[in-house]
Amino acid sequence: MGSRNFFAELRRRNVYKVAVAYAIVGWLLVQIATQVFPFLEIPNWVVRLVIALVALGFPIALMIAWAFELTPEGIRRTEDVDLTERRTRSHAWIYIVAIGTVVSIGLFFLGRYTAGNKGSVSSSQNLPNKSIAVLPFENLSDDKGAAYFADGIQDEILTKLASIADLKVISRTSTAKYKSKPEDLKTVSQQLGVATVLEGSVQKAADKVRVNVQLIDARADSHLWAKSYDRDLKDVFAVESEVAQEIADSLQAKLSPAEANTLATAPTKDTAAYDLFLKAEHEERLADSSLDPESFDRAAAWYQQAIARDPKFALAMAGLVQNRIQRHWFIERMSEAELAQLRSVAEQAVALAPNLAQVHVALGQFYYHGYRQYEQALAEFERALQLQPNASTALEFSGYVHRRQGKWERCLDELKRAFAGDPRNASLAANLATTYTPLRKWNEAERMARHALEIDPYAADAMRTLLESIVCGSGDINEAQRVLKTFPAENKILISSNFGGIRSIIGDRAYVLVLARDFETALKVWEAATDNAIEERRRLSARVAIRILSGDSTGAQTEAQKARELLEERLRELPTDISSKAKLSWAYLALKRGDDALKLARQAADLLPPEKDAVVGNLLLTGVAEIGARTGRAAEAIAILRRQLSVPAGTSVSIARLKIDPVWDPIRSDPEFQQLLTSKEHVGP
């Protein structure tokens, strides 16, 4: 058969028409598979199968078109179909091609639109396969007070997984925000940035324990595996190791020999000591969120009992060190003897378990919060990250140290990376926001502070930073008051370490009211008396400062006398207590002891200059300027303010804030002060 006759025969047998129609319909099927199947949560292998079948079917369809035709009487050989029937059916091919073309084009453009729209489906596909969040374990024990035990099992499994460099593991702070079995796993997956989640439950009875776990692909809400463990309580460590190993195997994570050893290692052989440790950890989490001194002390007692049962329990020692140093940093300073004793505990923990990341984090926190020994702290945090690549806490604290050193860009980078591994940690989000304020990046600070409050409406750090971004950025007091009304009324919104100037001493709730010149309402914030010595010193100091700003010298003197006695007693116990020096300077100011007030403020600033702490040092230096402005040292005060406006010190000084803060009223009409208000302030990188 000649080529011309061959092509004529192809046309006669409708092979061309079948080829065109098949291409259109095949393209339509591919478009449906690639654009529609993902929305129906049909697995990707089905999409690939459809494409393969369409491709394989093309030559088969051409061979069938050559040999046969479909007629009302059924499939017939082409030779048996007359020309009239072919002409009648030729219109059907046109309709098939037209309809298929229209639908294919529609799906093609739908695909282009949805590809540009970063919705939940596309983002789910982009989640790393080797990523996991361990959700809170449900307590199924008859004793509902055993919730601490379920929390501990979850935490230990998570900690073991965090040591695997090949996995992305979300920190406990973020997973704690969710229920044990969330209804919408896809939303959880998106918010945490993980492909898989582990759900579990724990039932404890006498010396027996049952642990149920199930690993779920959150993108498709499908189970990967589930398992139950019925063991003696003394075998609970083996359960934690087995679960972690099964997860690693399921996600095809590569383990180094050291990582495999970490998964198999138990923190202690004494189950009673472990139980005490879990109780301590539960109480410690409550203390960290409430900053309640008594809660810190209860947690410390549990840690100490655990260590008493097992003197080689390094993990419990690390917990005790972190407990005491957190209390020292946020509540009340320890004596030198107490710090020395705590240091020995931290070093002993490292000696007992040098390959345990948590002991290095604890020692790093001690160096940082105990003595501000930054390089030693950074070395310990770096070692912790080597041992546990997903240790976002170590990365977070590295950021905080670099912030104290004034290494702003590095701080921001580390906090952002830590936040990626702990995306529902409101405190971390708030600290990111706080880092923008010295740099006077008010919009970024406000955005991150609002995000932190979306995660946790009770995040005090975020409340403070949001107010600060408004007060220091725009100076819009009406907006600050409006925002303040949305916060829980019982929260005074205190600066935890309570260092520095007037805002630190009276707290942000009262400070916003002072800026609005509503002094009576500001005093009511600090109206209630307390039996707690720490809080009573703080309450009296705040009320003294508010009365001074309001011009109530008589009322200020009365309360200043009480504050003076408490603060002087405290300084006799701990002469280097910077916070007490700052508070006492305001009490002396109320008692007409201006020289003593300025001397104390300078002493506080000298103990912690900006070169040693770029955050608190600038707060204390501004505190000197405030006392100076109130004691006739206008030139010194203005010189400090000029310096503060030229460096990253937005937390304590901004032009918008200078214009409205009554603390500067005594020097407001000074020409040099007025000139400051028209100067250019430093904005960080």
pLDDT attached to residue 337: 94
- pLDDT higher than 90, residue 511: yes
pLDDT attached to residue 597: 98
Class of CATH domain 492-676: mainly alpha
Name residue 105's beta-bridge partners.
Answer: none
Confidence of residue 122 (pLDDT cuts 50, 70, 90): very low
Weakest mean pLDDT among 7-16, 195-204, 450-459, 612-621: 7-16
CA distance 488 to 509: 10
Of 25-34, 147-156, 179-188, 460-469, the range with the highest mean pLDDT is 460-469
176 vs 564: which has the higher pLDDT: 564
For tokens 């024990």, the residue is 141
Report yes or no: 557 and 588 within 8 Å, Cβ to Cβ: no
70-116 pLDDT, tens digit each: 555 555 555 555 544 454 444 555 555 555 555 555 545 544 444 44
Confidence of residue 61 (pLDDT cuts 50, 70, 90): low
Weakest mean pLDDT among 156-160, 590-594, 598-602: 156-160
Q: Please check whether the two domains, 271-389 and 492-676, share a CATH topology.
A: yes
CA distance 612 to 368: 12
pLDDT attached to residue 121: 37
Closest by Cα among 154, 159, 164, 236 to 199 = 154
Q: Sketch the domain layout of the chain as residue ranges.
A: 3-117, 127-264, 271-389, 492-676
CA distance 173 to 669: 50
- pLDDT higher than 90, residue 168: yes
For tokens 């020309």, the residue is 83
21-32 pLDDT, tens digit each: 667 677 667 666
> What is the architecture, at CATH level 2, of domain 127-264?
3-Layer(aba) Sandwich (3.40)
CA distance 30 to 225: 32
pLDDT attached to residue 15: 61
- pLDDT higher than 80, residue 42: no
Phi-psi region of 362 (alpha: psi -120 to 50; beta: other; left: phi over 0): alpha
Q: Which two tokens stand for residue 322?
A: 């972190």
The mean predicted confidence, pLDDT, of the chain is 87
Confidence of residue 119 (pLDDT cuts 50, 70, 90): very low
- pLDDT higher than 80, residue 444: yes
Q: In one letter, which amino acid is 109? A: F
pLDDT attached to residue 44: 57
Q: In one letter, which amino acid is 216? A: I
Contacts of 519 (CB under 8 A, 6+ apart): 513, 546, 547, 549, 550, 552
| Average of per-residue pLDDT across 59-76 | 60
- pLDDT higher than 80, residue 498: no
3 state SS for 448-503? HHHHHHHHCCCCHHHHHHHHHHHHHHCCCHHHHHHHHCCCCCCCCCCCCCCCCCHH
Report yes or no: 450 and 487 within 8 Å, Cβ to Cβ: no
pTM: 0.77
- pLDDT higher than 80, residue 289: no
Contacts of 495 (CB under 8 A, 6+ apart): 464, 503, 504, 507, 508
Report yes or no: 356 and 314 within 8 Å, Cβ to Cβ: yes
Class of CATH domain 271-389: mainly alpha
331-361 pLDDT, tens digit each: 888 999 999 999 999 999 999 999 999 999 9
Among the residues of 265-407, which ranges form H helices?
Answer: 271-290, 293-309, 314-330, 336-352, 357-365, 371, 374-387, 392-404
290-333 pLDDT, tens digit each: 778 899 999 999 999 999 999 999 999 999 999 999 999 988 88
Q: Report angle CA 494, 499, 504 to the nearest 5 degrees.
A: 40
124-147 pLDDT, tens digit each: 457 888 999 999 999 998 888 888
